[in-house]
Amino acid sequence: MLLFAYFIIVVAIAKIVRVFSRKRLDALTLTISGLDVVDPRRFSRTITLRNAGTLVVIGVVTWIFSLINDARSGWYGLPLLLAPGIAVAIGVLVFALLSTRIVSYRGPRRSASLLPRTAWSYGPAWGFLLPLIAAGAVIAFAIAAGLESSQQPDGAFRAIRIGTSAAGPYPGWYYGVPLIAVTVLLAGVTVFALGHIASAPRSAADNDPIDELDRIVRILATRTVMQLSSGALILYSGCVSMVAGWATSNAATTFAPGSRVLQHLQPATAIGVAEIIVGVAFALQGGVLLTLSILDAAQQPLRRVARSRVLSESVTS
Amino acid sequence: MITIDDDDPTPPFEQVRAQLADQIRAGTLVADQRLPSVRQLAADLQLATGTIARAYTALETAGLVSTSRGSGTRVRADQGIDDNCRAQAQKFAQALNQHGLSLADAISLVRTEWPTTTGSG
């Protein structure tokens, strides 16, 4: 029920964000008519297939990790924790490596722009800071939680001890070290993917509509990758913060027989509650970014043109 | 923008070098402007990376660009021809064009007249 409410809120916020950014999104669609429409249409279909393929890969990797998690109960949910990060990293890699060349034109006269394309060419500067800040937040939080964690009887740092009582699961070193590794992996894959999207060859045909379509496709791909990786990282921050807050609150609460609360130790309880609130906010933000990335991936860069209009323009041209 | 023509007997590396040199001299590519990477230009023009690298090396030897590991290939300062000379060249090109001369004929004409203006032969 709680998860269902989360999805509803996330989708509602994502929809509101899309409504407010409608003008900007309208600028990311192009109408090409006449005889020129054949190659872009074909390209548009390959973009749809690429995006759908990426989502399938993310889904399959998450499902495999959930199976591993079910089979290995002694790993205390570690595969489930790593699933989103690794799934998104593999998905982003698939997304970037599939070709973005619009038209494989190989005529005798070929043109190229003299503007260098870099990983930062197709998005606003602040957009690139988002995954960087999110990665920094995950790593900082994992280190802080690791330092606060205490050892369980099996030797793993996955609990928190406050006074004489301990509670878990807590994102100590047992979860924190793999989480830091996944964060570094995801950040690296994101930079690689952005570079690959920017440096993929452009069409060598000197054709304005195709050049514009190329630019739009690269902007949408950059947005998708940024939102996907930032969303996964912020969602991580949120989930880790919530789990840490829950464990901290439990460890700071003294229970009497019958689950009756005897006392809350302060400031640990307050810290725990604050971690839960921050975690919920981050989880919502991460979910919204992931939803926006799916919506961007689903956006068609080519606006549909009525067939009759295309035919009439073909005849007159 | 740079264009490669397979039907042109000039080797591709020379086409790239000449067009870049012309754009630097004409001020289209300004001082300190960064050129695309060898790999990007080669992929876009569907040429071998060695072809573009050779053109860039020739431009570097001519002192038109400088290459460093961190900042890539950049146009060197003070390589453009001044505005007054370019305006004169434009007038000259327009005048000959109106007389129906081809580019090759115009260049041939300049080559013939050049020694008489410099006096050195």
Tell me the C-alpha distance between A118 and A196, whole Å: 9
**Token representation of residue A46:** 């390959």
Cβ burial of A228 (10 Å; 0-12, 13-18, 19+) is: buried
In this structure, the number of other CB atoms found within 10 A of the CB of residue A9 comes to 14
**pLDDT, position A280:** 93
**Token representation of residue A219:** 């902007």
A274 in contact with B, Cβ within 8 Å: no
Question: Where in chain B are the domains?
Answer: 12-75, 83-118
Cβ burial of A55 (10 Å; 0-12, 13-18, 19+) is: middle
A201 in contact with B, Cβ within 8 Å: yes
A196 in contact with B, Cβ within 8 Å: no
B48 DSSP assignment:
-
Contact present, A183 and A167 (Cβ < 8 Å): no
From A137, A147, A139, select the one nearest A178 (Cα to Cα). A139
Model pLDDT for residues A118-177, shown as the tens digit of each residue = 888 888 877 788 888 888 988 998 999 889 888 887 778 888 888 778 887 888 899 899
**pLDDT, position A81:** 87
Mutate to test the interface with B, among A110, A122, A208, A215 (most CBs of B within 10 A): A110
**pLDDT, position A86:** 93
A114 in contact with B, Cβ within 8 Å: yes
Mutate to test the interface with B, among A102, A113, A114, A199 (most CBs of B within 10 A): A114
Model pLDDT for residues B16-58, shown as the tens digit of each residue = 999 999 999 888 898 889 999 999 999 889 899 999 999 999 9
Residues of A in contact with B71 (CB under 8 A): none
**pLDDT, position B71:** 81
Looking at chain B, the whole-number percentage of residues with pLDDT higher than 70 is 97
Each residue's pLDDT, cut to its tens digit, for chain A (317 residues) gives 788 888 899 999 998 988 888 777 777 777 766 556 666 677 777 777 888 888 899 999 999 999 998 998 888 888 988 898 899 999 999 888 876 555 566 778 888 889 998 888 888 877 788 888 888 988 998 999 889 888 887 778 888 888 778 887 888 899 899 999 999 999 999 988 888 888 888 877 766 677 777 888 888 888 888 888 899 999 888 888 898 898 888 888 877 777 777 677 788 889 999 999 999 999 999 999 999 988 888 777 766 554 444 444 444 44
**pLDDT, position A312:** 44
B54 DSSP assignment:
H
**pLDDT, position A309:** 45
A70 in contact with B, Cβ within 8 Å: no
Put simply, the answer to whether A199 touches B40 (Cβ < 8 Å) is: yes
Cβ burial of A267 (10 Å; 0-12, 13-18, 19+) is: exposed
What's the average model confidence in pLDDT over B56-72? 90
pTM: 0.78
| CATH architecture designation of domain B12-75 | Orthogonal Bundle (1.10)
C-alpha torsion A282→A288→A292→A295, nearest 10: 150
Q: How much is the mean pLDDT over chain B?
A: 88
Question: CA of B72: which chain A residue's CA is closest?
Answer: A116
**pLDDT, position B94:** 92
**Token representation of residue A253:** 């609460």
The dihedral sign for the CA sequence A193, A199, A205, A211: positive
SS3 A167: strand
**pLDDT, position A100:** 59
What count of CB pairs under 8 Å joins A to B?
Answer: 60
